[in-house]
Amino acid sequence: MRAIVSIAGLTKRYATGGDALKRIDLDIREGEIFALLGPNGAGKTTLINIVCGIVTPTSGRVLVDGHDIVRDYRAARSRIGLVPQELVTEAFETVRAAASFSRGLFGHAPDPRHVEKVLRDLSLWDRRNDIMMTLSGGMKRRVMIAKALSHEPRILFLDEPTAGVDVELRRDMWGLVRRLRDQGVTIILTTHYIDEAEEMADRIGVINHGELILVEDKARLMKKLGKRQLTLNLQEPLAAIPTELGEWSLALNANGHELEFTFDAVEEHTGIPALLRKLEQLGINYRDLNTKQSSLEEIFVSLVSDRATALQ
Amino acid sequence: MSVAFNRHGTWAIYRFEMARFLRTLLQSVLTPVITTSLFVVVFGAAIGGRMSEVNGVPYGAFIVPGLIMLSLFTESISNASFGIHFPKFTGTIFELLSAPVSPFEIVLGYVGAAATKSFLLGLIILATASFFVPIGILHPAWMIAFMALTAVTFSLFGFIIGIWAKNWEQMQLIPTLVVTPMTFLGGAFYSIDMLPPAWRTVTLFNPVVYLISGFRWSFFGTSDVGVSVSLAMTLVFLLACLALVALIFRTGYRLKH
């Protein structure tokens, strides 16, 4: 698939010292939802701000739909909509005026119908004449999205879109992102809510200390790094794991009431049928069983901490 | 889409800034009008009555061009500096920096709007003053030209201050400590011919002298310094501001990291 954003050898060193980004290479595919994961201060926002023209890179090159962000900034920027992390609004403007302003700023002729559609999509139409400073935080977040969508971007950057928003707005936001993707908009979102990435993303990039640790298809990432667990609730507690079960990696939990079997999700032969047969032979009965796949959060934590250990 | 000029973007900025002006129309217009009226009444009527004519012009009328200039300076600076400082302060400047607008278009939008406002205000002040004292304008076209040039130049200057200032206190620093004293010492209320020779020489280093002198010439046909010198000095100041703005955008000074 074609890369709509192509980042090569991108670095950012601030005058004060610190390397915010260390040689980032990344291709964003057209039409995908790409989630950039990483702890606070990892470099997510710096990366986005460089692509959008707010921060000047120290070195490297970024192409947006084939246009260099420095030499051909007009073409590059007119394709991008940005919703930054912080809630910043033109305090004294009305919702509609703010959205219309953004549309004009990005070089589009006024189109009240399009602005109306965007405001309706974000449930803002009833508030169109409200002054921004009278809006709640969630409403302001919607306005910022409306502003970014008012100029019909092909690429949308959402920097921590659901930080501090309530559950309803979060659901709305996810719905909106999917609708946009269906319309062919490429979406790049940063988050430190793993469930968000897990729910939304097609691909995931993990960034930490200014380095892109990995970029992977979400399903493949979870498969590759995911562990699965089988938990058996025993009828009679066990004092110790019988030696006959030595070939499986087992653990006893809940005072011997639970037998936990951890296995790799990738392996074809998980060993479950054999284990269950063996248990029957040994007369160990269970009331219930369930399997669970490790979440992206667990994968992420292990990735980041592995890295930290390796660096020490 | 590769356009050479983002007219919708420039227009959006201009309109946005003008809307701010209209929203605060009462304060924007009333304050300078009242200030000017007070100056004209106190200096022109109360004190001017006891003074002889200055260069053949009644004192009440003589101070009017100076007052208009004083308002043009302060209003242009405050309008333009506020216009660009406010988005920096609130953070909405991210949108401007990420938009497909060139520095020229940004300046045209912000400075154009600020200059328009202070130009209109200059006309309103002139109308107000003419209620109190009879004013004839000898060279109307030059008067308009000087007013427009001054409005643009000081709006550019204000734009620079708005970017340079790190906080609201710094925004006031240059208008209060530099511009106002220079205006008062620049012959707003007197002809520099009235000064002792030594002070007169010192005063000639004050650029504001040339602006006021040229402007006053367009009203009464008399001036402290030659009109061409006035015009040249105004243009020099304009070009200096333009060069500084260009430098700011090239280096991203206090705009980008």
Amino acid letter, A40: N
Residue closest to A6 by CA, chosen among A24, A22, A20: A24
Query: In chain B, whose CA is at the least distance from the CA of A14?
Result: B257
A109 touches chain B (CB under 8 A): yes
Contact B98 A53 (CB under 8 A): yes
Q: Residues of chain A whose pLDDT is less than 50?
A: none
Query: In chain A, whose CA is at the least distance from the CA of B94?
Result: A54
Per-residue pLDDT, averaged over B57-77, amounts to: 91
Q: Token pair of B61, please? A: 């009328």
Q: Write the pLDDT tens digit of every residue in A194-207.
A: 778 888 899 999 89
Q: How many CB atoms lie within 10 A of CB A232?
A: 21
Range of the domain at B19: 7-251
The rounded percent of chain B whose pLDDT value lies above 70 is: 99
Residue B63, pLDDT above cutoff 70: yes
> End-to-end distance of chain A based on CA atoms, in angstroms?
38
Residues B43 and B41: their CA atoms lie apart, in Å, by: 6
Q: Please provide the size of chain A in residues.
A: 312
Quote the minimal CA–CA distance from A159 to chain B in Å: 13
Would you state the pLDDT for residue B1?
44
Mean pLDDT lowest among A202-216, B179-193, B234-248: B179-193
Residues B197 and B145: their CA atoms lie apart, in Å, by: 31
Q: Token pair of A271, please? A: 């060993």
A54 touches chain B (CB under 8 A): yes
Look up the ipTM and state it.
0.90
Residues B115 and A65: their CA atoms lie apart, in Å, by: 38
- Count CA within 13 A, CB hemisphere, residue A310: 7
Amino acid letter, A23: R
Helix (H) or strand (E) holding A203: strand A203-208
Is residue B256 situated within a structural domain?
A: no
Would you state the pLDDT for residue A268?
65
The rounded percent of chain A whose pLDDT value lies above 70 is: 96
Would you state the pLDDT for residue B2?
45
Q: Please provide the size of chain B in residues.
A: 257
Q: Token pair of A309, please? A: 């250990």
Would you state the pLDDT for residue A111?
97
**What is the number of structural domains in chain B?**
1
Return the residue matching tokens 């003053």.
B129
Would you state the pLDDT for residue A266?
63
Question: CA quadruple B176, B25, B72, B248: dihedral positive or negative?
Answer: positive
Is residue B154 situated within a structural domain?
A: yes
Residues A28 and A2: their CA atoms lie apart, in Å, by: 8
Residues A77 and B101: their CA atoms lie apart, in Å, by: 9
Pairing state between β A211-217 and A250-253: unpaired
Helix (H) or strand (E) holding B121: helix B103-132
Is residue B77 situated within a structural domain?
A: yes
Would you state the pLDDT for residue A267?
67
Is residue B257 situated within a structural domain?
A: no
Q: Of all residues in chain A, what percent are helix, strand and coil, respectively (each to 5)?
A: 35, 30, 35
Is residue B107 situated within a structural domain?
A: yes
Contact A105 B13 (CB under 8 A): yes
Is residue B11 situated within a structural domain?
A: yes
Would you state the pLDDT for residue A312?
59
Count Cβ neighbours within 10 Å for each residue of B15-35 and write b for 16 or more, e otherwise: bbbbbbbeeeeeebbeebbeb
Task: Report whether A7 contacts A27 (CB < 8 A).
Answer: yes
Per-residue pLDDT, averaged over B79-102, amounts to: 95
Is residue B100 situated within a structural domain?
A: yes
Go through the domains of chain A in sequence order and give each one's CATH number.
3-223 (3.40.50.300), 227-293 (3.30.70)
Would you state the pLDDT for residue A310?
66
Amino acid letter, A265: A
Would you state the pLDDT for residue A229?
84
Mean pLDDT lowest among B52-61, B148-157, B163-172, B245-254: B52-61
Would you state the pLDDT for residue B41?
84
Quote the minimal CA–CA distance from A197 to chain B in Å: 25
A92 touches chain B (CB under 8 A): yes
Contact A105 B90 (CB under 8 A): no
Residues A209 and A40: their CA atoms lie apart, in Å, by: 9
Would you state the pLDDT for residue A308?
67
Task: Report whether A63 contacts A47 (CB < 8 A).
Answer: no
Mean pLDDT over each residue of chain A, to the nearest integer:
89
Task: Report whether B147 contacts B119 (CB < 8 A).
Answer: yes
Contact B257 A14 (CB under 8 A): yes
Residue closest to A94 by CA, chosen among A41, A131, A147, A43: A131
DSSP code per residue over A41-78:
TSSHHHHHHHHHTSS--SEEEEEETTEETTTTHHHHHH
Contact A86 B90 (CB under 8 A): no
Q: Write the pLDDT tens digit of every residue in B122-159.
A: 999 999 999 888 888 999 999 999 999 999 999 999 99
A84 touches chain B (CB under 8 A): yes
Amino acid letter, A129: N
Is residue B1 situated within a structural domain?
A: no
| Residues on chain A touching B248 (C-beta within 8 angstroms) | none
Would you state the pLDDT for residue B163?
95
